[in-house]
Structure 1
Amino acid sequence: MKTWKIGLVGTGYWSSKHLMAWARIPNVQVVALANRSRAKMLQKAEEFGIPPERCYESLQELLDGCEVDIIDIVTGPETHLDFVKQAAAAGKHILCQKPFAPSLEQAQEMVEVCRAEGVRLMVTENWRWLSRFQTVKALLEGGRLGKISAVRYIHTDYYTPRMAPEVELPQPFFREMPQLLFYEMGVHWYDTWRFLFGTPRRLYAETASVSPYVVGEDSGIIVLGHDDFYGFMDMSWATRQKLDYPLGDTVGPVHLEQLVIDGSEGTVKMYTDGRITFIDRNGVSEETVLEDGPLDHEESHFRLASHCIHCLNSGEPFQTSGEDNLITLRMAFGTYESAFKHAPISL
């Protein structure tokens, strides 16, 4: 079995989850890091046993100085096009952080560059790999619900206190993003929706900026129309609807999600604590399918990275290839288009 050598670019807030995931996979080794801030990079290198001489201050230096097979890009979307071009030109396969790109045009260009260079491109969409959504997927594939009639997906969080200027955020750029909730987090939600239910035909959005500390939207409701059922997403970082943690807690974000799927044979409910139940078609009994479905980010990244390596070994397509993510991005950017026009859009 081939040993896959990884070069990771971007050693910021979320990179540890990538590095922990790669470390658990047989025949995979992170051999080099690249980051603009050398001090931060050396801290991460020491933590994960990477020699300081394999730490580079640019991706191009890493590509020139170290033999790798895969580049794992864990940086902001504004850097992705340049990094993907460099990695693809060097013949490296690529795992690219979400959001994939700041525009559909850049996303399409990255897909075309990788196709032309003959390298594989996968987007880091880990939400679908969380235990709770893997459990829901298994229920749907098992046919237990019968024919789906409606889906209700709700995300409630009071993130506003953590956005205050005096609070140190892991991602302070959130405050200045002109497109916030449905770009930064929405790509996760839309990708997971498509994973569970397929791509809808229509989308209608209403969004709002509630917090005085953010430029972009932090609340919104999205109606999604499929051929034979409908659904909605009611998503907010600015609601006190349900608080399961101390008000004003700055350690976060805390994700409080609910999902209800109605079908001809019963209903699946995901509660805010991650518990998943199945209610029979008569509404008489409620069976617990998953007792605790935490937001197990570390495990989700391990499953995602394992999928990446499996597909590279087998030649199978990635679930979240760059090409597939074009559809997810179309939904994210379509949210703003619909909200601006006050009209539905076709997908």
Structure 2
Amino acid sequence: MLDAYASIAETIDTAIAPEHRLPVAIVGAGAIVDVAHLPAYRTAGLEVRGLFDLDAERAKDVAGRHGVPNVYASLDELLHDNAVRVVDIAVAPQAQPDIALRALHAGKHLVCQKPFVPDEETGRKIIEVADRLGLKIVVNQQMRYDEGIAAARAMVEAGWIGEPTTLSFTVNIATDWTPWPWLVRSDRLEIMYHSIHYLDAIRSVFGDPVQVFCTGSRTPGQVAAGETRTISTLVFPGDVRAVVHATHENRTGDSEATFRIDGSGGSIKGTIGLLYDYPHGRPDTLEVNSLSLPTDGWLPYPVTRRWIPDAFAGPIGSLLRAVADGSEPYPSARDNLGTIRLVDRLYASMDSGHSMPMK
């Protein structure tokens, strides 16, 4: 089993080769940059030349604590820094498309956050500009790179559980949305800004569904305007299915954040440690029960990295490799339009009360 696990660990390694590293600048100095982007990039050996935020004092504080040498006075100053090859945009989603276009026209490769764009048409326009200019865009759907998720996907691809049949996420937690006032006001909430992680992870394992159904609701007395409880069902070709059941109004303190993949020859199950004590979290867990290895029951896989901050090195590392060898980053902006389309169809189902085809 040690040899088998070594092959999985090698497959999901997110180390960035020194020859692939390029100078990076970050737009935004919010909490996620502070606790995830910058720590992950430092561990990966990346050079962060500077950052810009509309709140200059916040930018100076974050830069100072992480040893970032420059705080740009404006977005234009950042974009005119010819030494910067990659711009990581970490701002509220509504501001991202305009900044992305400006950065592309300045000749920068991009790391964009999820949701990449508000709609497919906007995404296609940004991708067309990037293609015309010969630039790469990766979307920071970093749950694909969470070690537990990535290892589970690698086990599926290696055939450890035979033909996969079902993938489920069950998340029952308490989420305080108030640190992000724009999220509290959003009428599109849980699917767009949280379950999008699980939906993208499902796509990374099963590809695109052919039909979806979603129901969402609010809890009496909740602060947020949008839906905070959702059930999403995804139908794939043949007999493959997936479901995401997410609740953010858990008022009893017994958090749950689990996933499971079943197949004809075994199963994989795990926990998402970050969500048990967010933002501090605890290590993920992962177990596999395989007839083909065999495992003689459930066997733990040694998860050593965490979603935050470690998985944040994955997308940018993929972008840097793509710049070096001309490949597509993972997930590319073009691929991520599939996740945006899925989110759109789930909301259409939620609004109509009917299942929706993906075409």
Task: Map residues 271-290 of structure 1 onto 2, 5 A cutoff.
Answer: 271=271, 274-280=284-290, 285-290=296-301
Aligned to 1:8: 26
Say whether the 8 Å CA contact 2:267–2:289 is kept in structure 1: yes
Task: Map residues 305-324 of structure 1 onto 2, 5 A cutoff.
Answer: 305-324=316-335
Q: TM-score, normalised by structure 1?
A: 0.87
288 and 108 in structure 1: CA distance in 2 versus 1, 3 angstrom threshold? same
Correspondent of 1:111 among 127, 148, 153:
127
CA–CA distance in 2 between the matches of 1:270 and 1:79?
35
Aligned to 1:340: 351
Partner of 2:309, secondary structure, is helix
203 and 308 in structure 1: CA distance in 2 versus 1, 3 angstrom threshold? same
Report deviation, 1:332: 1.0
CA–CA distance in 2 between the matches of 1:185 and 1:73?
19
Aligned to 1:196: 205
Report deviation, 1:291: 5.0
Amino acid at match of 2:59: M
Do residues 45 (structure 1) and 63 (structure 2) align? yes
Aligned to 1:171: 180
Task: Map residues 36-75 of structure 1 onto 2, 5 A cutoff.
Answer: 36-51=54-69, 54-65=70-81, 67-75=83-91
Amino acid at match of 2:132: A
Say whether the 8 Å CA contact 1:203–1:338 is kept in structure 2: yes
Task: Map residues 64-213 of structure 1 onto 2, 5 A cutoff.
Answer: 64-65=80-81, 67-159=83-175, 162-163=176-177, 169-210=178-219, 211-213=221-223
Aligned to 2:49: 31
Per-residue CA deviations over 1:92-137 (Å, capped at 9, x if unaligned) read: 1111111111222222221122112221111111111111101211
Task: Map residues 321-332 of structure 1 onto 2, 5 A cutoff.
Answer: 321-332=332-343
Amino acid at match of 1:221: I
Runs of 4+ aligned residues of structure 1 deviating over 6 Å after TM superposition are none
Unaligned runs of 5+ in 2: 1-18, 274-283
CA–CA distance in 2 between the matches of 1:65 and 1:146?
51
Say whether the 8 Å CA contact 2:87–2:110 is kept in structure 1: yes
Partner of 2:152, secondary structure, is helix
142 and 24 in structure 1: CA distance in 2 versus 1, 3 angstrom threshold? same
236 and 293 in structure 1: CA distance in 2 versus 1, 3 angstrom threshold? farther
Say whether the 8 Å CA contact 1:85–1:110 is kept in structure 2: yes
292 and 120 in structure 1: CA distance in 2 versus 1, 3 angstrom threshold? closer
Say whether the 8 Å CA contact 1:158–1:243 is kept in structure 2: no
65 and 140 in structure 1: CA distance in 2 versus 1, 3 angstrom threshold? closer
Amino acid at match of 1:79: A
Partner of 1:286, secondary structure, is coil
Say whether the 8 Å CA contact 1:132–1:293 is kept in structure 2: no
Say whether the 8 Å CA contact 1:130–1:300 is kept in structure 2: yes
CA–CA distance in 1 between the matches of 2:260 and 2:78?
46
Say whether the 8 Å CA contact 1:32–1:66 is kept in structure 2: no
Say whether the 8 Å CA contact 2:315–2:329 is kept in structure 1: no
Say whether the 8 Å CA contact 2:139–2:332 is kept in structure 1: yes
Aligned to 1:301: 312
Aligned to 1:221: 231
Percent identity for Structure 1 against Structure 2: 22
Say whether the 8 Å CA contact 2:153–2:205 is kept in structure 1: yes
Per-residue CA deviations over 1:171-205 (Å, capped at 9, x if unaligned) read: 23321111001000122111100112211111111
Report deviation, 1:293: 7.0
Aligned to 1:19: 38
CA–CA distance in 2 between the matches of 1:147 and 1:133?
18
Per-residue CA deviations over 1:244-291 (Å, capped at 9, x if unaligned) read: 5xxxxxxxxxxx421222211122222465322233569x95222325
Report deviation, 1:309: 1.7
Aligned to 2:247: 236
CA–CA distance in 2 between the matches of 1:174 and 1:275?
30
Report deviation, 1:66: 5.0
CA–CA distance in 1 between the matches of 2:235 and 2:172?
22
Q: TM-score, normalised by structure 2?
A: 0.84
Two-structure CA RMSD over aligned residues (Å): 2.3
Report deviation, 1:292: 5.1
Partner of 2:31, secondary structure, is coil
22 and 8 in structure 1: CA distance in 2 versus 1, 3 angstrom threshold? same
Task: Map residues 231-270 of structure 1 onto 2, 5 A cutoff.
Answer: 231-240=242-251, 243-244=254-255, 256-270=256-270
The aligned length equals 326
